[in-house]
Amino acid sequence: MSDASALRRRPELRCTAEISRYQRAWFAALRERVADGEPFAVLSADSPHEIYRAMDIPYVVVQWWSSLIAAKQLGPRYLSTLASAGYPDTLEQYNALPFGELLADDPGTAPWGGLPRPTILQGALSSDSMRQLYETWARRSGAAFYPLERSVDVRWKVEADWWEQLPEHWDEFLAAERLDLLTDELTGLIHSLERATGRRFDETSFAEAMRLSNEQARLNRGTRDLVARTVPAPVSAGETMPAVMIPQWHRGSGWARDAARLLNAEIRERVEEGVAAHPGERLRLMWLGRGLWSSLGLYQHFQERHDAVFVWSMYLGLAADGYLRSFDGGRDPLRALAARFVPVGEELRMPTWSSAWHLKEAKLHRIDGVVSLGEEDFFSVRRLEEAGIPVLSVRANNVDRRTWSEAELTDLVDRFIEERVWPARHERSA
Amino acid sequence: MTQVDERSTTDGSRVAIDTVTSGRPWTEPLRSVYRAPWVAARRWREQGGRVVGLLGGCAPRELIMAAGMLPMRLRPAALDAEPPAPLPDGLARELTPSTAAVLAALWGGGLRWIDALLIGRDCEAHTKLFYVLRELAAERPDRLPPVAFSDMLRLPSRTSARYNRRRLADLRGVVGGWAERSISDAELVAAVADSARTAAALAALDELRIARRVSGADALLAAVAAQMLPGPAVREALAAAAGPPRTDVVPVFLTGSDLDDTHAYEAIEQAGAAIVGEDHGWGDDGREVAAATSDPLDGIVDRYQFSARRSARAGLERVVRTAERVRRSGARGVLQVIRPDDEASAWELPALRAALPDLPVHSVRLAQEDRPALREATAEILSTIGAIRV
């Protein structure tokens, strides 16, 4: 199933290259800080990065590093290393790849000189095996593991319009006991980090990180709206994925806010000047699920072939709708941070929320067809199809190239566009 | 409904004949409820009682008992006398085979023998089922019984303990609503005490099992039935449990995925092993029971928060407890059986091997219910044990 070639992304924006250059320089500096003896944390994407930001503890986000491993075509090798050590290689690949890199112990071939050995690991217990995986990783690396629980929304009736309610009304929209739990856990985490690193948590720095992250979210919301309302789209999803996500992993910093502003400004400029990702755009596509980081050019492949542009991925969508939590009126920024992470995952995978959001975003972006990869998507598919938007569901894992190939995917999407998207489009137009 | 009951009764009678001829009459009432739980549920309801279906071992049955209702843990393989209508393809893919079976039975009307459903957070597949049911109920509320979710967290921290207490207190109100009355502390204390008596009977059975006077298959049968029948009925059956000791079998401990299939146990034991203990989500050696505490909710929360059964959402400390139980059982090898929907157990394997360096630990992954694979894995581990003995 795997293929060695990778469709490379054609640059569309100036800022993406600038953002990527910063990331390389930042990572090189991080390696130096860690080499000098500073603590180093590896965090899952749904961990409270803002606390580490405020305490100036260097960190890397697991999912970013895994996407880099995938982009360097090293995924199969590290998964094989896991299997050789007796660990599963078909579970939690997105979280497990850096652990595979650790076991492979070959920095010479690892991306960017390799991920430094962590002193802190943090993950939310979002699946059945996250606790075992991270505890095992901690044992093998010598890191301290700080888990966070993932509570469940047990209410029998929940409102669907989370994207409208959460930014301002999170303290009414979410169950109080869930917010209490995570706020208490974060309080304990701060104490643990202070003890482990000798660094002091500064409330002023933290509140500033929260303000900056909210500002970043507002900018992303503006960017998303620009992309959604502009036909032809000023930029494709293959371009916005790195341009949004690299700053996302620096959330709470001035640089991340500025990068989001840069992205917004450049896209606004393109809209004003009528510059499009593909001027001949005739179809607009949506990518549901995790991104193909090792093959970002695949998203642009269908532009020339079908005049079809992938305009939506969850990365800009969630950056626009999922992170903003106002804490004005004397509200506790730590509780606002808890409100950012209590529902994370539910926005994407709890049917009541995810299906409503996917439909809302599809309509907002005037989507003609949806490709869904590796998602449990029954309710989203049903609602989208009922709205006349065809969906292609593909069973594969985004960072495990053993489960998909570019040739197979392009063939599937080609046929999907010809056999379902165009007919549906004609039907809507008739 | 009547037609289902008639078939159920017929099926139950056939079970009784089977067990009498097996020479272990004490297993008869246990096997009946194991195979056809709807028959016992119907009897309970005919006497004016209510039945609450439990999905998973983390759903706190003590609350249901305290409310005077019968908690019956659902076996996905025995939900109805009739096979359920298949779910739409995409919806079945959304779920695991087990949770899809429960949904198919609920949606198709096959689970009308329960008055309410309490889902425990044994694994994230259960969480997903709850979300799916909630979404479906918004469209067709008439097709489902009342449903609640028990979100018992497992980290050994005070924050989780406090959250669990709030959740259990809320659940007490929900279950009281199902019973149309409040649940008193005295009733909770009585439910905990009754559970403790059943646990003691299961612990006694476990001793017989270690002495190889009761097979692993029969012990599993008892553990499963104890999660379906009223306590007194279970204890009455277990009081008669015994058999001649067997010396021609090799003691093996079973870990990994939840197994409720006695035939799977029989496949392993027919290959020459005796399953003298297990730590998956269906087995019960009588050691996990709520303590009698001043506030009865405290003991119930502790029971579920600190359970070592089932690997999902557990930490590696579970492996330490598994190793202790392996030692205590006298097992000479460990068989880890992993079902396709189990995402957690495989992570325990290297740690388990490290904790038991002198014992063979074999792991087998089942593509589905695969008895030949179980027999083959058993043969492998017995061969290894034989080599060690030599």
**Dist. CA B135–CA B55, nearest whole Å:** 18
What are the beta bridge partners of residue B254? B278, B335
CA distance B213 to chain A (A): 35
Considering only CB atoms, B313 lies closest to which of A131, A158, A184, namely A131
Q: Which residues of B touch A125 (CB under 8 A)?
A: 155, 313
**Does residue A222 register a pLDDT over 80?**
yes
**Does residue A256 register a pLDDT over 70?**
yes
**Does residue A400 register a pLDDT over 50?**
yes
Calculate mean pLDDT across residues A28-52: 97
**Does residue A60 register a pLDDT over 70?**
yes
**Does residue B5 register a pLDDT over 90?**
no
Residue B357: strand, helix, or coil: coil
CATH 3.40.190.10 fits B186-389, yes or no: no
Calculate mean pLDDT across residues A48-54: 97
**Dist. CA B377–CA B380, nearest whole Å:** 5
CB A104 within 8 A of CB A81: yes
Question: What confidence score (pLDDT) does residue A5 get?
Answer: 56
Q: Write the DSSP string, B245-299.
A: ---SSEEEEEEES----HHHHHHHHHTTEEEEEE-SSS---S-------SSHHHH
pLDDT class of A315 with cuts at 50, 70, 90: very high
| Antiparallel, parallel or unpaired: β A41-43 and A59-61 | parallel
Calculate mean pLDDT across residues B64-76: 98
Q: Is B121 on the interface with A (CB under 8 A)?
A: yes
Secondary structure letter of residue A91 according to DSSP:
S
- Structure tokens that stand for B2 in this block: 């009547």
% chain B with pLDDT above 90 = 78
CB A120 within 8 A of CB A40: yes
Task: Give me the helices (H) in chain B, please.
Answer: 2-22, 28-35, 37-46, 61-66, 89-94, 97-107, 124-139, 158-179, 185-210, 216-225, 231-239, 262-270, 296-305, 317-329, 349-355, 371-389
**Dist. CA B309–CA B287, nearest whole Å:** 10
**Dist. CA A295–CA A397, nearest whole Å:** 13
| Ranges of each domain in chain B | 2-175, 186-389
Secondary structure letter of residue A87 according to DSSP:
-
C-alpha distance across the termini of chain B, in Å: 59
**Of A267-276, A399-408, B163-172, B234-243, the least confident:** A399-408
**Dist. CA B322–CA B308, nearest whole Å:** 8
What are the beta bridge partners of residue B55? B119
Phi, psi of A374 (to 5 degrees): 70, 20
Question: What confidence score (pLDDT) does residue B125 get?
Answer: 96
Amino acid at B92: A
Q: At what angle do helices A237-248 and A14-35 cross, to 10 degrees?
A: 30
CB B95 within 8 A of CB B341: no
Q: Which residues of A touch B361 (CB under 8 A)?
A: none
CA distance B336 to chain A (A): 13
**Residue among B343, B356, B351, B342 at smallest CA distance from B253:** B356
**Dist. CA B87–CA B107, nearest whole Å:** 9
Residue A308, H or E segment: strand A308-313
Calculate mean pLDDT across residues A180-185: 98
Determine whether the interchain pair B90/A185 forms a contact, defined as Cβ–Cβ distance below 8 Å.
no
What are the beta bridge partners of residue A146? A122
Determine whether the interchain pair B90/A377 forms a contact, defined as Cβ–Cβ distance below 8 Å.
yes
Cα angle A133, A138, A141; round to 5? 120
Helices H / strands E in chain A, number of each: 19, 8
B2-175 with B186-389: one CATH topology?
yes
Amino acid at B146: P
pLDDT class of A9 with cuts at 50, 70, 90: confident
**Dist. CA B227–CA B60, nearest whole Å:** 11
**Does residue A333 register a pLDDT over 60?**
yes
Q: Is A139 on the interface with B (CB under 8 A)?
A: yes
**Dist. CA A385–CA A380, nearest whole Å:** 8
pLDDT class of B22 with cuts at 50, 70, 90: low
Task: Give me the helices (H) in A105-175, please.
Answer: 130-141, 162-173
Q: Which residues of A touch B94 (CB under 8 A)?
A: 376-379
CB B88 within 8 A of CB B59: no
Q: Is A91 on the interface with B (CB under 8 A)?
A: yes
Q: Is B354 on the interface with A (CB under 8 A)?
A: no
Which residues 329-368 in chain A show a CB within 8 A of chain B? 350-352, 355
| Ranges of each domain in chain A | 14-429
pLDDT in tens, B296-309: 999 999 999 999 98
pLDDT in tens, B286-344: 999 999 999 999 999 999 999 998 999 999 999 999 999 999 999 999 999 999 899 99
Residue B387 makes CB contacts below 8 A (sequence gap 6+) with none
Considering only CB atoms, A156 lies closest to which of B128, B132, B134, namely B134
Question: What confidence score (pLDDT) does residue B368 get?
Answer: 67
Cis peptide bond N-terminal to A247, omega within 30 = no
Determine whether the interchain pair A158/B134 forms a contact, defined as Cβ–Cβ distance below 8 Å.
yes
Determine whether the interchain pair B151/A152 forms a contact, defined as Cβ–Cβ distance below 8 Å.
yes
Q: Which residues of A touch B121 (CB under 8 A)?
A: 152
Q: Which residues of B touch A355 (CB under 8 A)?
A: 135
Q: Is B308 on the interface with A (CB under 8 A)?
A: no
pLDDT class of B385 with cuts at 50, 70, 90: confident
Interface test with A, best of B131, B160, B320, B349 (most A CBs within 10 A): B131
Secondary structure letter of residue A138 according to DSSP:
H
pLDDT in tens, B104-143: 999 888 899 999 999 999 999 999 999 999 999 998 888 8
b/e A200-225 (16+ beta carbons within 10 angstroms → b): ebeeebbbbbbebbbbbbbbbbbbbe
Residue A371: strand, helix, or coil: strand
Calculate mean pLDDT across residues A54-65: 97
Q: Which residues of A touch B316 (CB under 8 A)?
A: 132, 135-136, 139
Q: Is A132 on the interface with B (CB under 8 A)?
A: yes
Q: Which CATH number fits domain B2-175: 3.30.43.10, 3.40.50.1220, 3.40.309.10, 3.40.50.11890?
A: 3.40.50.11890
Determine whether the interchain pair B347/A350 forms a contact, defined as Cβ–Cβ distance below 8 Å.
no
**Residue among B152, B193, B155, B197 at smallest CA distance from B170:** B152
Sheet of A308-313, strand order: A308-313, A283-288, A369-373, A391-394
Question: What confidence score (pLDDT) does residue A6 get?
Answer: 67
Residue A288, H or E segment: strand A283-288
Determine whether the interchain pair A139/B316 forms a contact, defined as Cβ–Cβ distance below 8 Å.
yes
Calculate mean pLDDT across residues A163-181: 98
**Dist. CA B254–CA B238, nearest whole Å:** 22
**Dist. CA A190–CA A146, nearest whole Å:** 11
- Structure tokens that stand for B262 in this block: 């006695």
User: B353 vs B84, which has greater pLDDT?
Assistant: B353
**Does residue B218 register a pLDDT over 90?**
yes
CB B147 within 8 A of CB B133: yes
**Dist. CA B103–CA B81, nearest whole Å:** 15
Give Cα B222 to chain centroid, integer Å.
10
**Dist. CA B266–CA B268, nearest whole Å:** 5
The whole-model pTM stands at: 0.94
**Of A72-76, A162-166, A384-388, B204-208, the least confident:** A72-76
**Of A88-97, A127-136, B289-298, the least confident:** A88-97
Between the CA of residue A376 and those of A158, A384, B128, what are the distances in Å? 20, 14, 10
